[in-house]
Amino acid sequence: MNIRSLTRGDGVVIGAAVLLFIASFLDFYSVDGCGSYCDKVDMPNAWDTDKLGIILPSVFLAGLIGAGLVIAGRFQPESRKISGLTLGQWGNGLAVGAAWASLWTLFLTPDGMSMSVGAILSLLASLALAAGVVLTPRVPALQAPLAGAGGPAAVPPYGAAPQPGYGYPGPGGVQPGAPAPYGAQPGQPAPPFGAQPGQPAPAPAPAAAGSDFAPFWFAVPVARPLYAEDGSSSTIAELAPGTWYLAVEQRGQALVAQTQDGRRGVLQDTTGIQRG
């Protein structure tokens, strides 16, 4: 599990789920015109299913389970599906359904009662939850990593000097004329982790004839899957922000990348990558 896979939109989903859980323990309705007897009236919360019917499963449990599936889907390969849908898609449907059910509670308030703090908070939380799952794929600001740029493994802003790491092409990495680690030639990037001293790094795949492509180091702005080279939808690794990877070949808009342990795969989404 890589916490750097979470985005700001996921943070909205998590916060909304926490607020929804808290709201489930608060009074859902209040009595109008009870005067001094209001504090003596025992009003139900969402867990009093004998009084509030299906509000618990349709609003609270649907929202909490939906949020859990959305977050769990961030750590699962996209090829893993249930009845043809990914975990995130199942979670999106439950989250939107919970918001719709919560909105209907506005119109189904019993006579002589009004919405109390539990109903109001659940409505706000479910709407925020639905907005988080719907808008995150469409709003770039919500797709930014949840961890701040000042974190130890975050990718630095464009134009700033990144911190040395695996394959870092600047100061702190392999320098021309300096002894190369693990037996690599001076001026060449270090071989993958696990290579024995004295063994050269695997040679990158040659570029297509007539192409001016040259291998380069890059980092991704958010966690992205690395797919198998055979063109299947299976994921062989996940590229994490803050780590440098070697691009060894270009296939249209995609790149063939090499990970720290020597595995190679296709990075289909190359938008926003930072070249070393």
What is the distance in angstroms between the CA of the first residue and the CA of the last residue of the chain? Answer: 26
What is the predicted pLDDT for the residue at 208? 45
What is the predicted pLDDT for the residue at 22? 96
CATH topology of domain 155-167+205-276: SH3 type barrels. (2.30.30)
What is the predicted pLDDT for the residue at 153? 42
What is the per-residue pLDDT across 21-68, written as a single tens digit (0 to 9) for each?
A: 999 999 888 877 665 555 666 788 889 888 888 899 999 999 999 999
Could you tell me the pTM of the whole model?
A: 0.52
Return d(Cα 74, Cα 3) in angstroms, integer.
9
- How many Å separate Cα 202 from the centre of its chain? 32
* Three-state DSSP state, 258: strand
Within 8 A by CB and 6+ apart from 164, the residues are: 170, 171, 172, 173
Averaged pLDDT in 10-residue chunks for the chain of 276 residues: 74 95 91 62 81 88 94 78 88 94 86 84 95 90 70 46 50 44 45 49 46 85 89 85 89 88 88 86
The answer to whether the beta carbons of residues 242 and 219 sit under 8 Å apart is: yes
Return d(Cα 123, Cα 188) in angstroms, integer.
58
Task: Give the gyration radius of the chain's Cα atoms.
Answer: 26
Return d(Cα 31, Cα 43) in angstroms, integer.
8
Which of 27, 22, 48, 40 shows the shortest CA–CA distance to 114?
Answer: 27
What is the predicted pLDDT for the residue at 251? 87
What is the predicted pLDDT for the residue at 64? 96
The answer to whether the beta carbons of residues 38 and 32 sit under 8 Å apart is: no
The answer to whether the beta carbons of residues 134 and 96 sit under 8 Å apart is: yes
What is the predicted pLDDT for the residue at 4? 64
Query: Which tokens hold the place of 20?
Result: 């929804």
Burial label for 76, CB within 10 Å (0-12, 13-18, 19+), is: middle
Return d(Cα 40, Cα 42) in angstroms, integer.
6
* Three-state DSSP state, 83: coil
* Three-state DSSP state, 112: coil
Task: Using alpha carbons, list the distances in angstroms from residue 169 to 173, 174, 238, 261.
Answer: 6, 7, 21, 18
The answer to whether the beta carbons of residues 115 and 29 sit under 8 Å apart is: yes
What is the predicted pLDDT for the residue at 257? 93
What is the predicted pLDDT for the residue at 39? 60
